[in-house]
């Protein structure tokens, strides 16, 4: 079974728990997810099966969207409601105060992740070190926030829609916004509404996946591998070039894909003339050719 199951993760489960459950349900040992969600968070978690795991890195790097609930007046050790309270203060904020502050958090910036995070040091997650009482130092990471839109302000709670790039911690955003406005804040709820091209309306629960497998409708619930890459350009290969792709040889097209020349190291999707997804090619400006980057349609691959 190859493809992408877009799961609506329930609260209380780790992303690893979801992958393990999907693996058991579908009987596919080769599985992984694209973008970790905290156990308390819910929403879109793409689970890639079989050869679809080959595109996990591109889906993980794609943009994400969240609906976050931020409570002002309380700070915690974990920056969410799971941690111990470290600071409390009265909240005297007006909607206009928040509206003025939000633009400061847009664009590329350095963000300090929470100490209690899944980032690893020496192969050990920081949250495990912190819980063991070890001193944990975190370093800023470059992130990007594209949009912040206020959905509701019901003091002391703010509901915010966030569009951002990979690696953004919404818990850190909540904490930093609380610091900027004065009374402190922490995250009380988080829903991922989009991961790459996949939205919450397309996601299914684990129970719905189980039912689809039982009644035979699971194919309607599984996205094709190339669905994660549809914003890339594509090329259709004839029989000779299809063979060259499969055998790792460079490919030269008689005509350009479009009037726009390829960018250096650009990646494109490759298809056979019957529409079968063959894999990914990378442009090499040095020899003006497309090189096989990842070949997918080569039959079963060994388990990793």
In the predicted model, is pLDDT for residue 260 greater than 90? no
Higher pLDDT, 247 or 67: 67
Q: Which CATH superfamily is domain 64-195 in?
A: Pseudouridine synthase (3.30.2350.10)
- Provide the residue ranges of all domains of the chain, joining segments of one domain with +: 3-62+199-225, 64-195, 232-295
In the predicted model, is pLDDT for residue 303 greater than 50? no
pLDDT at 139: 84
Cα dihedral 125, 126, 130, 136, rounded to 10, equals 150
In the predicted model, is pLDDT for residue 299 greater than 50? no
pLDDT at 36: 87
Q: Which of 2, 17, 38, 231 is the catalytic position?
A: 38
Q: Does domain 232-295 have CATH number 1.20.140.10?
A: no
Helices 206-215 and 15-26: crossing angle in degrees, nearest 10, is: 10
Across 188-196, average pLDDT: 97
pLDDT at 300: 40
Q: Please state, for a pLDDT cut of 90, what percent of the chain lies above it.
A: 71
10 Å Cβ neighbour count for 271? 17
pTM, full prediction: 0.88
pLDDT in tens, 137-179: 788 999 999 999 999 999 999 999 999 999 899 999 999 999 9
Band of residue 129 on the pLDDT scale cut at 50, 70, 90: low
In this structure, which topology does domain 3-62+199-225 adopt according to CATH?
A: Pseudouridine synthase (3.30.2350)
pLDDT in tens, 8-54: 999 999 999 999 999 999 998 899 998 889 889 999 999 999 999 99
Q: What mean pLDDT is reported for the chain?
A: 90
Across 117-137, average pLDDT: 70
pLDDT at 259: 63
Higher pLDDT, 179 or 135: 179
Domains 3-62+199-225 and 232-295 share a fold: no
Is 38 one of the catalytic residues?
yes
pLDDT at 258: 58
- The CB-based long-range contact list for 16-22 (8 Å cut-off, 24+ gap) reads 18/45, 18/47, 18/206, 19/47, 21/206, 22/47, 22/49, 22/206, 22/209
Radius of gyration (Cα) for the chain, nearest Å? 22
In the predicted model, is pLDDT for residue 304 greater than 60? no
How many angstroms separate the CA atoms of 86 and 93, rounded?
20
Band of residue 120 on the pLDDT scale cut at 50, 70, 90: low
Band of residue 180 on the pLDDT scale cut at 50, 70, 90: very high
How many angstroms separate the CA atoms of 216 and 109, rounded?
47
Across 253-268, average pLDDT: 76
pLDDT in tens, 212-240: 999 999 989 999 999 999 999 999 999 99
């Amino acid at each position: 079974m190859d493809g992408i199951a877009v799961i609506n993760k329930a609260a209380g489960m780790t992303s690893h728990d979801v992958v393990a459950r999907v693996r058991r349900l579908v009987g596919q040992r080769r599985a992984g997810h694209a973008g970790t969600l905290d156990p308390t968070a819910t929403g879109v978690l793409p689970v890639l099966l079989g050869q679809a795991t080959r595109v996990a890195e591109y889906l993980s790097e794609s943009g994400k969207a969240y609906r976050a609930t931020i409570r002002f007046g309380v700070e915690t050790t974990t920056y969410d409601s799971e941690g111990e309270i470290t600071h409390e203060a009265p909240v005297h904020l007006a909607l206009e105060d928040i509206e003025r502050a939000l633009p400061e958090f847009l664009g590329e910036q350095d963000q300090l992740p929470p100490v209690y995070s899944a980032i690893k040091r020496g192969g050990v997650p920081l949250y495990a070190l912190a819980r063991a009482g070890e001193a944990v130092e975190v370093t800023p990471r470059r992130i990007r926030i594209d949009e912040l839109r206020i959905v509701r302000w019901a003091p002391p709670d703010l509901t915010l829609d966030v569009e951002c790039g990979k690696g953004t911690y919404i818990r850190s955003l909540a904490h930093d916004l609380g610091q900027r406005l004065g009374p402190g804040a922490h995250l009380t709820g988080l829903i991922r509404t989009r991961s790459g091209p996949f939205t919450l309306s397309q996601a299914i629960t684990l129970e719905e996946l189980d039912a689809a497998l039982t009644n035979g409708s699971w194919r309607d619930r599984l996205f094709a591998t190339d669905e994660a890459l549809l914003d890339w350009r594509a090329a259709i290969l004839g029989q000779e070039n299809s063979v060259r792709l499969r055998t790792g040889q460079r490919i030269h097209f008689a005509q350009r894909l479009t009037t726009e020349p390829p960018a250096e190291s650009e990646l494109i999707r490759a298809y056979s003339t019957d529409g079968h997804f063959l894999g990914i090619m990378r442009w090499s400006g040095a020899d003006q050719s497309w090189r096989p980057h990842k070949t997918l349609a080569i039959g079963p691959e060994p388990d990793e």
